[in-house]
Chain A
Amino acid sequence: MSPRTDAPPAAPATVRRFGPAQKWVHRTTAALTGLCVFTAACLYVPQLAQLVGRRALVVTVHEWSGLALPLPFLAGLASRAFRADLRRLDRFGPHDRAWLRAALRRDKRPSARPAGKFNAGQKLYAAWIAGATLVMLGTGLMMWFTHLTPLMWRTSATFVHDWLALTIGIVLAGHIGMALADPEARRGLRTGFVSREWARREHPLWRP
């Protein structure tokens, strides 16, 4: 028996989930979204509007935070790791179909929910919120620069902007609710690392 039989190096207890690029894109996007939602509420909810007033200032903050919303994403495109995650979010494989079917059946067993680095729900959310943000941006610009678009368009843009805002509010609440229910997922975005055990359970097909 050799005096120095080293055990095979144990796999580290944590795995890297996000690098600085993904973390900062998420943080800045979240901050800008929060500003947009808060100022929207102050413009829209009568009680808040009476409390806050200062309509011209609130409008300005809302417009500029909305306009800035795509910038973190665009800056993130410079990062290889961020682009790799975008590719993962874009591609849907057979396991994603299985995940969605299980979600519709409310089947919560991990074995019924195969997922890579992102599960099918996260992929759908990412794609929908990206599209919805662009629609908000487009309709917002039509309301902002009224002389660029024909007469009727501004009212129509307001209509879409209002109702989509309400929808985004609900979906965003779901997004935040799910994050609140999963401390390890939040840790992943805060520190960049998650436990290996969590990664295996929640994202069995992910090869970190």
Chain B
Amino acid sequence: MNSADEVNPAPPPDDQDRDQDRDEPDARGRPVGRRVVLGTLGLGALGVLAAPPLQRGLESFLAAASDKDPTGLTDLLPNGGGFRYYSVTSSVPRKSPADYRLTVGGLVDRPAAYTLADLRALPQTRLVRDVQCVTGWRVPDTPFEGVRLSALLDAAGIRPEAKAVRFTCFDGAYSESLTLGQARRADVLVALRMQDEEIGHAHGGPVRLYVAPMYFYKSAKWLSGITVTDKVVPGYWEGRGYDIDAWVGRSNGRDDEPTSG
């Protein structure tokens, strides 16, 4: 083709194809491009099949590397270890010991509002378990410490018609729920400390729920309200397709190792 074609850019289609075949080296040669496309696809499929052993190897390698990494860059790598921050709202207000309140209400005989100091004065339980997120990451041997939820429920006096407990959060959007049976388990805490420190704002401080045997979305951050109800009210993510009974390894189509018997 020559420059005259620019003036008349629509030559008969057959001519154009033939011109290209004749003149351009690009129109000849072997179809390597489509082989690269198919090869990449094949590697991707192979990656999915080989993922379990690959992931185990990388996780242990990266966990070791992040222990010695002063820059924190390894935390940005996939499976780089540690917690990931999820919030469903654009910003979350901060609560200090002065203005934090945890209310207990609903189908109870004695509604209550606890300050941070009130909660700290109650008997504390420390649990060390793995944390398993439904998106795949797992943080081993994480200590949580706080008041057993069952203690707060007993103090409030549950009415006979009560069946479930609903949790609300001061981020203004998140909510969670447990059946009464689940809520009374000894490994369900109103947590004040995590990793042996007071819970920071990013981790849901000053007070969060900790439901050891379930996926971590059940452990609502920024806990501010406990309401006893006559039926389970699905929580924030459960309205978006996640399982309500979120036992680790037995829900959400996953088979992770259970975190708490």
B49 within 8 Å of A by Cβ?
yes
Of B27, B86, B254, the residue contacting A55 (CB under 8 A) is B86
Nearest chain-B residue to A153 (Cβ)?
A: B48
List the A side residues contacting B76 at CB < 8 Å.
44-45
Closest CB in chain B relative to A97 CB, distance in Å: 10
Residue contact A160 to B26, C-beta cutoff 8 Å: no
A74 within 8 Å of B by Cβ?
no
In whole angstroms, what is the CA distance A166 to B3 when docked? 44
Residue contact A163 to B78, C-beta cutoff 8 Å: yes
B202 within 8 Å of A by Cβ?
yes
Of A12, A50, A93, A146, the residue contacting B253 (CB under 8 A) is A146
Most chain B CB atoms below 10 A, which of A94, A123, A163: A163
Residue contact A139 to B26, C-beta cutoff 8 Å: no
In whole angstroms, what is the CA distance A159 to B50 when docked? 10
List the A side residues contacting B54 at CB < 8 Å.
159
Residue contact B40 to A207, C-beta cutoff 8 Å: no
Closest CB in chain A relative to B134 CB, distance in Å: 10
Q: What is the 8 Å Cβ interface bit string for chain B, positions 125-169, against chain A (1 contact, 0 not)?
A: 000000000011000000000000000000000000000000000
Closest CB in chain B relative to A74 CB, distance in Å: 15
Closest CB in chain A relative to B246 CB, distance in Å: 13
List the B side residues contacting A135 at CB < 8 Å.
40-41, 43-45, 47
A205 within 8 Å of B by Cβ?
yes
Closest CB in chain B relative to A191 CB, distance in Å: 13
One of A21-29, A105-113, A126-134, A181-189 contacting the partner: A126-134
Nearest chain-B residue to A147 (Cβ)?
A: B253
In whole angstroms, what is the CA distance A89 to B33 when docked? 6
A197 within 8 Å of B by Cβ?
no
List the A side residues contacting B9 at CB < 8 Å.
16, 19
Closest CB in chain B relative to A144 CB, distance in Å: 10
Of B23, B30, B135, B254, the residue contacting A207 (CB under 8 A) is B23
> What residues make up the interface of B, taking CB atoms closer than 8 Å to A?
1, 3, 6, 9, 13, 16-17, 20, 23-41, 43-45, 47-49, 51-52, 54-55, 75-79, 84-92, 135-136, 202, 240-241, 252-255
Q: Using A131-B39, A156-B48 as known contacts, list a sample of 7 further A-B pairs with CB atoms less than 8 Å apart, ordered by residue number in A.
A: A53-B92, A88-B24, A91-B32, A127-B32, A131-B44, A152-B52, A159-B54
Q: What are 6 pairs between A and B in contact, CB < 8 Å?
A: A46-B85, A91-B30, A127-B34, A131-B36, A134-B40, A139-B44
